[in-house]
């Protein structure tokens, strides 16, 4: 929300200067993100008129113009898309300086002399608008100094509004709170209405067929208007507040939205069939084209503003192209309504639209202010566009929105905040905020104002009291001295440890939504469908994900489309599974999932062999996880291997499964826009934690040298290296410090169904050096047990 200091000043005498107001807004609960100071740079700037304009050959946007600046015509090269003959403009002569500090000089561009610059609002320092040159009113005198008309300084504050304060989405709402804080009077503007003899109720009829979604709908009519630009001051004010001026009638609706926080819409009465407005739910799969030209397929829970035969606006979101205000519009029907916030938000999210209107309706507008804003709109349309206002307002109000009334205890508020408030001061604050108070006794009855839907209970009023008084008044006090001790959540700590390990291995952490829709996206085959949501917010959020691999594959596809093919992604989050017949509950679990694809090493300066990632990279990663997590008895088991490269395996500890891993070959990943083999894993964090030691003992670094031996044995093909390792560990004695296989060889020369497995054994004593005889004795024991248990033959 952009707030203008000058605009706020029209409602009250601001107690602080421009550079201090940002602090006041912060005290009120607004987060000031930026402050824009607009001070026009108007020295050597005059009013001119474009009398000639021709495109410069060989360019796509430059024009050579002649501009009458009063007494002489200057040749000026201009690149703005809206430059044309007859336009009244601001001309920066040679020697002038733009708001950004650039000095204007005579120059030659594409063979044409340019004696100045036709300025935009941004170059003059009037606003941030730079889409084209500034178009000025035709009645402004040619050759006059621009300072005669444009000397309008202002300060605009870019503030972030919390969802619970819809009243802050208006200048009046902010002005009201400033007045309450500083105990000063404020006054909303009153627009003069001159009604004609005709009646609005004779011109248009309103029928609300969905009162829960639209409790109030008002219509006013202005006839015989003339479509033209809005007054220059209005256009400038809208531009500074982030709204593009369009025409006088449309600008009225935006102007009052910024002033009151109440969205409005204007219909061309010619296109409202039968002069009837019906507020109804859309027909299923009804097509509707909004003002931005987009065609939307409506659903039966979307609220439409319709005439006798068709929809003319999506309620609270955007108007329709079929009834927009046009250059030849004469009669205007003004819509001013209160729509249920939930319905507007649901429709806007489903359509993928977020507008200035929907943002206000979603938070909750003031239902009691609807007739006043509708009348104000009619008055401004008459003032800026002429025409006649038909008498009266069609106020359709089938379901009044009651104000909230609740109990309030001043003493409880004092205890909660830690300040002994005077009851008269408390009552004064609540009244200044717009509340109706029935005081007396320990418990008061307070009625919240219609523009504050966030005030729902006693504690809300307590917060308002200290907000207006100032948080700095809360006294500093020592705590009672009670020390609280706690313990970190073990699952959370495991999650952080795994994240650190994977980041250290070159992975990037991804964060995705846990909701998705398999119908709208291509996902890896075999992924669990997850859990269907009973009341999804949008079609894209129908399911809770059954596997974290689903969003990771989509992220990989998006990176591939942008040329990044070397990926290592992981995510730690929740996945969901359906219950079974005996236990229909939905199961939620914490998992870590990841995928790898592309080259093994980062691209370096010197060329070297850089193979693509394969199974052994994935296996090595899992082994690193096992070692770093102290899962000493973990096993990596592979199965479902085929000739196409598809692989699936399981990570186990002491027979219990921690999760799965695998490889999706290029042939399957092509359907997902991934032109490469993809390695993946997904492990259950709770299962991993259950098999991780709860205590860890410190072991000093070894001081004595190690001894190592290599051994190669021929065994049957079904005997795995893991089985051999278990036998070696049980046979080698307590001084075996490390063991790993480093070669597997199969050949007919070894015999049918035979293979050779080579392993390295490392021995180390913590308190002395081992001699060769001790190591040899251990190796003889190892060989004997391998021979007896696995019929191994030493090579």
57-101 tens-digit pLDDT = 888 889 999 999 998 999 999 999 999 999 999 999 999 999 888
Strand, coil or helix: 694 = coil
Tokens of 674: 């991934």
Describe the chain by its helix, strand, coil percentages, rounded to 5: 30, 30, 40
- Asked whether 675 and 666 are in contact (CB, 8 A), the reply is yes
pLDDT at 522: 61
Between β-strands 205-208 and 276-281, what pairing exists: parallel, antiparallel or unpaired? Answer: parallel
DSSP string, 173-209: HHHHHHHHHHT-----------EEEEEHHHH-EEEES
**Stretches in the chain below the pLDDT threshold 70:** 478-487, 517-526, 539, 580-581, 605-608, 640-645
Q: What angle do CA 155, 157, 162 make, to 5 degrees?
A: 160
pLDDT at 722: 82
Q: Which of 369, 372, 431 is nearest to 401 (CA)?
A: 369
Q: In whole angstroms, how far apart are CA 264 and each of 107, 220, 245, 294, 316?
A: 48, 11, 15, 21, 9
Specify the DSSP element, H or E, that contains 319: strand 318-319
pLDDT at 82: 92
Q: Which residues contact 174 (CB under 8 A, 6 or more apart)?
A: 3, 8, 25, 28, 30, 168
Between β-strands 216-223 and 73-78, what pairing exists: parallel, antiparallel or unpaired? Answer: unpaired
| pTM of the entire predicted model | 0.67
């Amino acid at each position: 929300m952009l707030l203008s200091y000058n605009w706020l000043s029209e409602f009250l005498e601001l107690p602080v200067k421009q550079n201090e107001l940002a602090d006041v807004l912060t005290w009120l609960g607004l987060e000031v993100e930026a402050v824009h100071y607009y001070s026009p740079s108007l020295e050597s700037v005059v009013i001119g008129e474009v009398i000639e304009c021709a495109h410069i050959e060989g360019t796509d946007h430059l024009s050579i113009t002649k501009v009458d600046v009063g007494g002489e015509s200057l040749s000026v090269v201009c690149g703005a898309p809206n430059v044309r003959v007859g336009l009244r403009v601001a001309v920066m002569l040679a020697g002038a300086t733009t708001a950004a500090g650039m000095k204007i000089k005579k120059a030659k561009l594409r063979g044409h002399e340019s004696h100045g610059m036709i300025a935009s609002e941004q170059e003059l320092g009037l606003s941030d608008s730079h889409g084209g040159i500034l178009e000025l009113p035709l009645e402004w005198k040619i050759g006059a100094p621009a300072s005669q008309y444009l000397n309008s300084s202002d300060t605009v504050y870019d503030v972030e509004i919390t969802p619970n304060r819809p009243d802050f989405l208006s200048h009046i709402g902010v002005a009201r709170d400033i007045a309450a804080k500083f105990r000063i009077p404020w006054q909303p503007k009153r627009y003069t209405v001159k009604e004609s003899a005709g009646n609005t109720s004779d011109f248009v009829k309103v029928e609300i067929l969905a009162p829960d979604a639209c409790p109030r709908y008002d219509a006013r009519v202005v006839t015989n208007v003339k479509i033209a630009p809005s007054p220059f001051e209005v256009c400038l004010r809208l531009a500074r507040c982030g709204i593009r001026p369009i025409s006088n009638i449309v600008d009225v609706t935006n102007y009052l939205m910024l002033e009151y926080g109440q969205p409005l819409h204007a219909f061309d009465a010619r296109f409202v069939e039968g002069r009837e407005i019906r507020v109804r739910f859309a027909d299923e799969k009804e097509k509707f084209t909004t003002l931005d030209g987009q065609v939307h397929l409506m659903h039966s829970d979307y609220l439409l503003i319709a005439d006798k035969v068709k929809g003319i606006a999506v309620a609270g979101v955007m108007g329709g192209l079929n009834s927009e205000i046009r250059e030849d519009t004469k009669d205007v029907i003004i819509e001013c309504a209160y729509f249920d916030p939930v319905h507007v938000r649901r429709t806007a999210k489903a359509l993928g639209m977020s507008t200035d209107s929907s943002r206000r309706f979603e938070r909750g507008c003031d239902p009691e202010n609807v007739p006043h804003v509708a009348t104000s709109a009619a008055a401004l349309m008459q003032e800026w566009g002429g025409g006649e206002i038909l008498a009266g307002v069609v106020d359709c109000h089938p379901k009044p929105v009651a104000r909230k009334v609740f109990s309030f205890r001043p003493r409880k508020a004092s205890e909660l905040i830690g300040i002994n408030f005077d009851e008269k001061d408390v009552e004064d604050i609540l009244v200044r905020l717009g509340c109706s108070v029935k005081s007396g006794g320990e418990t008061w009855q307070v009625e919240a104002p219609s523009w504050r839907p966030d005030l729902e209970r006693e504690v809300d009023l307590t917060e308002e009291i200290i907000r207006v008084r100032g948080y700095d008044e809360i006294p500093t006090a020592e705590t009672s001295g009670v020390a609280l001790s706690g313990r970190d959540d073990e699952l959370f700590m495991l999650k952080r440890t795994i994240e650190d390990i994977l980041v250290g291995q070159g992975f990037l952490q991804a964060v995705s939504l846990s909701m998705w829709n398999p119908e709208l996206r291509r996902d890896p085959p075999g992924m669990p469908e997850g859990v269907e949501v009973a009341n999804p917010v949008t079609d894209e959020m129908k399911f809770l994900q059954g596997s974290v691999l689903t969003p990771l594959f989509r992220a990989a596809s998006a990176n591939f489309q942008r040329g990044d093919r070397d990926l290592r992604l992981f995510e730690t989050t929740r996945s969901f599974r359906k219950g079974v017949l005996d236990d229909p509950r939905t199961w939620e679990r914490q998992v870590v999932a990841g995928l790898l694809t592309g080259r093994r090493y980062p691209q370096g300066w010197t060329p070297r062999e850089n193979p693509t990632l394969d199974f052994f990279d994935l296996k090595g990663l899992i082994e690193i996880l096992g070692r770093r997590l102290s899962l000493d008895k973990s096993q990596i088991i592979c199965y479902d291997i085929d000739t196409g490269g598809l692989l699936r395996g399981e990570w186990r500890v002491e027979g219990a499964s921690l999760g799965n891993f695998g490889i999706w070959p290029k042939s399957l990943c092509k359907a997902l826009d991934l032109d490469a083999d993809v390695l993946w894993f997904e492990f259950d964090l709770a299962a991993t934690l259950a098999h991780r030691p709860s205590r860890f003992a410190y072991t000093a670094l070894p001081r004595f040298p190690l001894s190592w031996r290599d051994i190669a044995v021929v065994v049957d093909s079904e005997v795995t290296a893991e089985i051999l390792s278990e036998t070696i560990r049980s046979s080698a004695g307590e001084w075996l410090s490390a063991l790993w296989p480093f070669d597997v060889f199969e050949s007919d020369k070894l015999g049918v169904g035979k293979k050779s497995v080579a392993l390295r054994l490392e021995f180390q004593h913590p308190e002395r050096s081992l001699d060769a005889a001790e190591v040899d004795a251990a190796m003889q024991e190892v060989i004997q047990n391998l021979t007896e248990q696995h019929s191994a033959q030493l090579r």
